[in-house]
Amino acid sequence: MSSLKKQSGSLQEKAGISPPEITNSAAISQIQINRRKQPSSDELIKGILDQNRTALSRAITLVESTHPEHAEKANDVIKGCLPHANRSIRIGITGVPGVGKSTFIEAFGKFLTALGKKVAVLAVDPSSSLSHGSILGDKTRMEELVKDENAFIRPSASGDTLGGVARKTRESIILCEAAGFDTIIIETVGVGQSETAVHSMVDFFLLLKISGAGDELQGIKRGIMEMADAIVINKADGDNIKKANQAKLEFNRALHLFPPKKSTWQPKVTTCSAITNDGIPEIWDTISSYFEMTNETGYFQEKRKDQNQFWMIETINEQLKLNFYNKPEIITQLEQNKKAVQNDELSPFAAAQRLLKLYFEERTK
Ligand SMILES: Nc1nc2c(ncn2[C@@H]2O[C@H](COP(=O)(O)OP(=O)(O)OP(=O)(O)O)[C@@H](O)[C@H]2O)c(=O)[nH]1
Ligand SMILES: [Mg+2]
């Protein structure tokens, strides 16, 4: 069975088809979850804590489900996993399409599993709802990692809003951690606001770049550079090595112009090749020294606490919005009010007030 097919279990589960078998014999012996029956939340929690991948996959599918009935069960599973989560490092990786994210994650992930780490790869890609997750198509670029029993790769959740996709990924992080994964890699394609969402759920943020023709800094969003804890210039191999080193100098110079980070960490610029593996161990050294430093200063925990607060507020915002826009009366009234605003019969502010009033009145009925 192809690796691609093997990993599409969650999607097949969603479609009501039983998931494909897992070829790893150790995993098979671990499976206690009856696939035909819907496992209870307690069974899922137990399975996850037993490091059972089928349980983990099913729980993530539950978290990703938009079915209202699943939400409560998903919450129960997360609650049960929470005391066992948090013991990991979370690394975000971003970069424009084609920069080599998937190839890099394959190389870096293999390097980490060789060190004895357990690596989970998740993705935030709201655009993937149509294509069922670009990371899934990328499985061919992660051929080795897919087969690695110390790695778990999951395509991006689908969803209409970035907030929704990001929440699901964040909850999946908790599940992966409870299942014993100690290194979580979150990939996102560098478009839209998805980097900001990923930045707010990871400890270390890595920006992947490739060298161009001396115009490295052009077209790069200032905000992304400010978020980066490391900039890695990929594809530093063959004829590209010289250009990559020049780019490194330029980025280093540019980074020094930014105000110091709250963490007091000075972002590093390095080069690597995801094909030859050159520079990959050095990236891990950089990340390790970041964790050492932020653990010593207490910044690591402080940032996670801030992130938890942030996600609480984000979730409230997201749910309120969903609740508002899904109300049938609001759907009808919204259209009418939009027209009224367009025809200058009503000010935008008055229209908004009118709709909100209607919403709150409906709520108190
Ligand atoms: N020479 C060289 N080629 C690389 C390297 N890393 C990736 N590539 C190639 O660059 C192309 C794009 O790599 P991907 O890993 O698919 O890039 P990506 O960032 O995941 O792309 P999207 O999934 O489309 O966002 C592929 O043809 C890779 O083989 C590298 O270090 N050196
Ligand atoms: Mg990719």
Locate the domains of the chain by residue range: 37-83, 85-297, 327-364
Assess whether the C-beta atom of 234 lies below 6 angstroms from ligand 1. yes
Assess whether the C-beta atom of 105 lies below 6 angstroms from ligand 1. no
CA distance 38 to 46: 14
Query: Given this model, what pLDDT does residue 6 score?
Result: 37
Assess whether the C-beta atom of 121 lies below 6 angstroms from ligand 1. no
Residue with the smallest CA separation from ligand 1 atom 8 is 100
Centroid of ligand 2 to alpha carbon of 102 (angstroms): 4
Residue-wise pLDDT for 198-244, tens only, equals 999 999 999 999 987 455 565 667 788 889 999 999 999 999 999 99
Centroid of ligand 1 to alpha carbon of 135 (angstroms): 13
Query: Given this model, what pLDDT does residue 224 score?
Result: 85
Q: What is the mean pLDDT of residues 254-278?
A: 93
- What percentage of the chain carries pLDDT values higher than 70? 83
Distances (CA, A) of 334 to 260, 329, 338, 343, 356: 45, 8, 6, 14, 10
Does residue 192 carry a pLDDT above 90?
no
Does residue 133 carry a pLDDT above 80?
no
Centroid of ligand 2 to alpha carbon of 61 (angstroms): 22
For residues 136, 140, 144 and 145, what is the CA-based torsion angle, rounded to 10 degrees? Answer: -20
Q: Which of 49, 15, 50, 47 is nearest to 34 (CA)?
A: 47
Residue with the smallest CA separation from ligand 1 atom 5 is 235
Assess whether the C-beta atom of 99 lies below 6 angstroms from ligand 1. yes
At the topology level of CATH, where does 85-297 sit? Rossmann fold (3.40.50)
Which residue, chain included where needed, has tokens 């550079």? 225
Of 74-83, 279-288, 336-345, 355-364, the one with minimum mean pLDDT is: 355-364
Mutate to test the pocket of ligand 1, among 102, 121, 153, 156 (most ligand atoms within 8 A of CB): 102
Of 32-41, 116-125, 223-232, the one with minimum mean pLDDT is: 32-41
| Banded model confidence at residue 249, pLDDT cuts 50, 70, 90 | very high
Query: Given this model, what pLDDT does residue 173 score?
Result: 96
Task: Please answer whether residues 155 and 122 qualify as being in contact, where contact means their C-beta atoms are separated by less than 8 angstroms.
Answer: no
* Rg of the chain, C-alpha, whole Å: 22
Bridge partners, 92 (sequence order): 186, 205
- The alpha carbon of 286 is separated from its chain's Cα centroid by a whole number of angstroms, namely 21
Residue with the smallest CA separation from ligand 1 atom 15 is 100
Of 89-93, 99-103, 213-217, 341-345, the one with minimum mean pLDDT is: 213-217
Does residue 24 carry a pLDDT above 60?
no
Does residue 15 carry a pLDDT above 70?
no
Task: Please answer whether residues 321 and 311 qualify as being in contact, where contact means their C-beta atoms are separated by less than 8 angstroms.
Answer: no
Residue-wise pLDDT for 293-349, tens only, equals 999 999 999 999 999 999 999 889 988 998 999 899 999 999 999 999 999 999 999
Query: Given this model, what pLDDT does residue 315 score?
Result: 87
Long-range CB contacts for residues 286-291, cutoff 8 Å, separation at least 24: 286/230, 287/89, 287/91, 287/204, 287/206, 287/230, 290/204, 290/229, 290/230, 290/265, 291/89, 291/203, 291/204
Q: Can you tell me whether residue 240 is helix, strand or coil?
A: helix
| Banded model confidence at residue 284, pLDDT cuts 50, 70, 90 | very high
To the nearest whole number, what is the mean pLDDT of the chain?
85
CA distance 197 to 194: 5
Of 26-30, 37-41, 348-352, the one with minimum mean pLDDT is: 26-30
Residue with the smallest CA separation from ligand 1 atom 2 is 235
Centroid of ligand 2 to alpha carbon of 142 (angstroms): 9
Phi, psi of 131 (to 5 degrees): -90, 5
Q: Which of 6, 319, 10, 5 is nearest to 157 (CA)?
A: 10
Does residue 363 carry a pLDDT above 60?
yes
Query: Given this model, what pLDDT does residue 17 score?
Result: 35
Domain 37-83 CATH assignment equals 1.20.1300.10: no
CA distance 294 to 287: 11
